[in-house]
Structure 1
Amino acid sequence: MNILYVVGEFPKLSQTFILNQITGLIDAGHHVTVLAKKSESNYKIHEDVSNYHLLDHVIYYDENGRDNKFSKGMTFVKSLFSFSYSQLLHKKHPTHLSWKALLSSPNLILLYNRLKKQPLLDMDIVHAHFGPNGLLAHKLIQMGLISGRLFTTFHGYDMLRYIRQKGDDVYKDLFQSKAVLLPISNFWKSKLEGMGANPTRTIVHHMGIDVDKFEYLPIKMNQDIKIISIARFVEKKGLSYGIQAVSNLIKKGYNITYSIIGGGPLEKELRSIISNKGLEDHIQLLGWKTQDQVIEIMKESHVVLLPSVTSHDGDMEGIPVILMEAMAMGKIVVSTYHSGIPELIKHGVNGYLVEEKNAKELVDTLKNIFDMEDHSSIIEQARETVSRQFNICELNKQLIDTFERKIH
């Protein structure tokens, strides 16, 4: 099959779940093209991007996306003029979209101008990640610029924050089309159907990991406790609650090193919290790392902490892949009753969950973990859960089967 992936940034270091799908499809003999707005500014890329020569198969439609606002504005004006000129020359223009719709979606104008001379009409499947990209792909199909059966994966922010911004009926056209919706959890499937999605075309498809890449390396708890978090520095990751909990545990006499990998808009705020609490010797912000570097750091860690919360603007997680990776490596995972996370972690069975924004409960849970002598059952169950339910090799087979069933 010829498969087109429609995404925002590619490659993006924090979105290994998309990369794992793409490489899995290529391994299965399918041809994959990526239609992306721009590349991530982070200079680090996953080794599979190079190993599979993926950049040779990417089409960018906003190559000036990193310019200043004036330059981006000029690019849009030029693109709008080009679009208008094309409409005057071709009365039977493929789009039936109103000017209002076009002006409200600058990306659609950019996509038109990128694809008008070389439309992607040989695709069997169009797979969009995140709802807004699904809407764009649906419009491009209507405009005759791409072809193929549309599948849209919903992750999290596209179900809450985006809807708050755009309105409750933002996905109406997508729901009424023949597009297949692939929420990454039962939590999001329920939300979609509550909004009007057709249950027969709404199929849960989990993100997953290549379990074999993650060596099972449990470490017995000792007096020098190592905790790690890997996340973008944004509100929904709840990192401030992790810092607060570690601070309280240090006050109780525990010797903890807390390493936080990532970056983002809250970095200055997090550094300020750490400094104000005098925790520079215990808590380190390490910046972004490649997956191999993350694995090396995780090997030496006892606990992987991700205290996710619902942000003030309604943004939420999906099911964070980093938790799957940690569980595969035999690490103790601690997270929250948030979004689809309880579909991965069962409290006291294969990991631990606390209520959102509850630093005290987080302290009590971590203290119990530190004081517990035997964690073997928890970490064995964790590895087993990921191997059975979140194994990317099996999930990619299921995805291919879903594609083939829906196009025949």
Structure 2
Amino acid sequence: MNNMKLGYLVANFPQLSETFVSNEIDRLINNGLDINIYSFVQTSEDDAEKLTEVAKELAVKTNYLSKISVLIASVMRPWDLLRLSGINKKMQKWSTSKPNQQMRKCRAIALAHQLRRDGITHLHVHWPYSTEVAYLVNQLINIPYSVSIHAHEVAHENGHFPPVFKTLSFATYCNKGAMEYLLKQLPEAARKKSYLVYHGVDIRNFEPLPMPLLDKTLNIITAGRLTKTKGFDRLIRACAKARKQDFDIRLSILGRGTVENEIKAVAKEEDFTDYLDMPGWVSHDKVREYMKNAHLFALLADTSFHDGLPNVVLEAMACSRPVILSPLPAAGEAVADGKEGFILESAEDYDGFVTALKKIYDAPEILTTMGNDARTRVCHDHDADKQIIYLQDMFIQQAQVFNKG
């Protein structure tokens, strides 16, 4: 396609919690783009078994640059080591995460020469570490590169962006809230390189599900990595408060992570253990079964840009499930309060949570109405097949620039 050969760099690939990256690459390949995938770290054996079929297929095609091969490649190019020495030290000062700077430099050298051998004409990257490497690669071989920026980065790993924006071709953002937050910290020229491209949802895989009858028990579902910022402890407290007001609430939390024991301790503290189901990691097929039995999806995550709007929220909406959300930075980009669901005043707005449940119990038919509106909103604004065209067009435009050059 326009003599373009695209390289994708994701430092750790594929990851269980980042299916949107695998799906993005897969859609581009299916649309005819010639793509080579590069990574530094393979999926662990335990996680590899749980990957989606798409992710497994892409993992087989990925070029993994091991530490040994990277070190050998860089030692054989002492001039490149010297050339990158100064700028790599500057990058270490800019970098928020402060990774091993010598390994980053060696990886940049090895990748640069791999890209040349493979005839890559444009490099696209996900996540800060990959962005830092791409910046160094650009310094070495002047290859055009672009970046996908996620909500967490704009507030918590953003030190590298000012120099990066001087050299990248364009940047995409997974939500407008994150985009506007970062652009306020950058020179005005950065806006001309910034574009909104949602991850989107495969609306064919996440089909609308009939709403189960609400007789007495209200089944709530949530999902994600079990980390403190997701607010699963708050959701349990909110559900427990509802039960104390005679609402028959059941909660299923799908996922695994570092705070599983803390979450269970909160459930015990709130006398909610008997009403909580935590099955751990669940395959996409089984997620559908859980979703089928649920009346709504809820997430009381932190509002400080650890998440913009997790894709699992959109997946639930695609299944015609209304949502109850904390005021996440991008919540309004998918939910109008009272239409597709409810947006609370804060992540700790337990009274607002109970009020939302009361509205549902008083008029159970709004579950179906809101669920249908949720599905319509996702299909209109967050269809992955539509969103990928925006990204694809940017790559094609870059190819045209390359060909003219």
TM-score when normalising by structure 1: 0.85
User: Which string of whole-angstrom CA distances, capped at 9 and with x for unpartnered residues, describes residues 214-265 of structure 1?
Assistant: 1211313231221111111112211111100111112222222211011112
Aligned pairs for 1:314-325 within 5 A? 314-325=304-315
Amino acid at match of 2:191: P
- In 2, Cα distance between equivalents of 1:91 and 1:109: 9
Unaligned runs of 5+ in 2: 93-97, 401-405
Task: Select 1:387's aligned residue among 379, 387, 394.
Answer: 379
- In 2, Cα distance between equivalents of 1:79 and 1:346: 49
The verdict on how the C-alpha distance between 1:60 and 1:363 changes in structure 2, with shifts beyond 3 A counting, is farther
- In 1, Cα distance between equivalents of 2:87 and 2:176: 35
Q: Are 2:84 and 1:95 aligned?
A: yes
- In 1, Cα distance between equivalents of 2:343 and 2:387: 25
SS, match of residue 11 in structure 2: strand
Task: Select 1:205's aligned residue among 170, 192, 197.
Answer: 197
Amino acid at match of 1:158: E
- In 1, Cα distance between equivalents of 2:161 and 2:114: 28
Deviation at 1:40, TM superposition (A): 3.6
The verdict on how the C-alpha distance between 1:211 and 1:289 changes in structure 2, with shifts beyond 3 A counting, is same
- In 2, Cα distance between equivalents of 1:218 and 1:336: 25
Instruction: Indicate if the aligned counterparts of 2:6 and 2:34 stay in contact, CA closer than 8 A.
Output: yes
Deviation at 1:98, TM superposition (A): 4.3
**Dislocated runs of 4+, deviation >3 Å:** 78-83, 85-88, 90-99, 101-105, 112-121
Q: Are 2:13 and 1:20 aligned?
A: no
Amino acid at match of 1:377: T
State the Cα RMSD in Å: 2.6
The verdict on how the C-alpha distance between 1:80 and 1:125 changes in structure 2, with shifts beyond 3 A counting, is closer
Unaligned runs of 5+ in 1: 64-74
User: Which string of whole-angstrom CA distances, capped at 9 and with x for unpartnered residues, describes residues 123-150 of structure 1?
Assistant: 2332212244222212122223xx7532
Amino acid at match of 1:360: D
Amino acid at match of 2:84: T
The verdict on how the C-alpha distance between 1:287 and 1:39 changes in structure 2, with shifts beyond 3 A counting, is farther
Aligned pairs for 1:53-202 within 5 A? 53-61=57-65, 83=74, 85-86=75-76, 88=78, 90=79, 95=84, 97-98=86-87, 100-101=89-90, 105-106=99-100, 107-112=103-108, 114-115=110-111, 118-120=114-116, 122-144=119-141, 148-163=143-158, 167=159, 170-197=160-187, 198-202=190-194
- In 1, Cα distance between equivalents of 2:328 and 2:375: 21
Deviation at 1:322, TM superposition (A): 0.8
Deviation at 1:21, TM superposition (A): 0.8
Amino acid at match of 2:124: H
Task: Select 1:288's aligned residue among 274, 277, 281.
Answer: 281
Deviation at 1:113, TM superposition (A): 6.5
How many residue pairs get aligned? The number is: 381
- In 1, Cα distance between equivalents of 2:294 and 2:17: 20
The verdict on how the C-alpha distance between 1:335 and 1:328 changes in structure 2, with shifts beyond 3 A counting, is same
Q: Are 2:43 and 1:31 aligned?
A: no
User: Which string of whole-angstrom CA distances, capped at 9 and with x for unpartnered residues, describes residues 39-73 of structure 1?
Assistant: 343241112224xx21222123456xxxxxxxxxx
Aligned pairs for 1:196-345 within 5 A? 196-197=186-187, 198-219=190-211, 220-310=213-303, 314-345=304-335
- Give 1:67's aligned residue: none
The verdict on how the C-alpha distance between 1:347 and 1:209 changes in structure 2, with shifts beyond 3 A counting, is same
Deviation at 1:348, TM superposition (A): 0.9
Percent of residue pairs identical? 22
Instruction: Indicate if the aligned counterparts of 1:218 and 1:302 stay in contact, CA closer than 8 A.
Output: no
- In 2, Cα distance between equivalents of 1:116 and 1:378: 50
Instruction: Indicate if the aligned counterparts of 1:102 and 1:109 stay in contact, CA closer than 8 A.
Output: no
SS, match of residue 274 in structure 2: coil
TM-score when normalising by structure 2: 0.86
Amino acid at match of 2:41: K
User: Which string of whole-angstrom CA distances, capped at 9 and with x for unpartnered residues, describes residues 10-59 of structure 1?
Assistant: 22122121122111111111232222232343241112224xx2122212
Deviation at 1:81, TM superposition (A): 9.1
Deviates more, 1:118-127 or 1:41-50: 118-127
- Give 1:407's aligned residue: 399
Deviates more, 1:316-325 or 1:109-118: 109-118
- Give 2:403's aligned residue: none
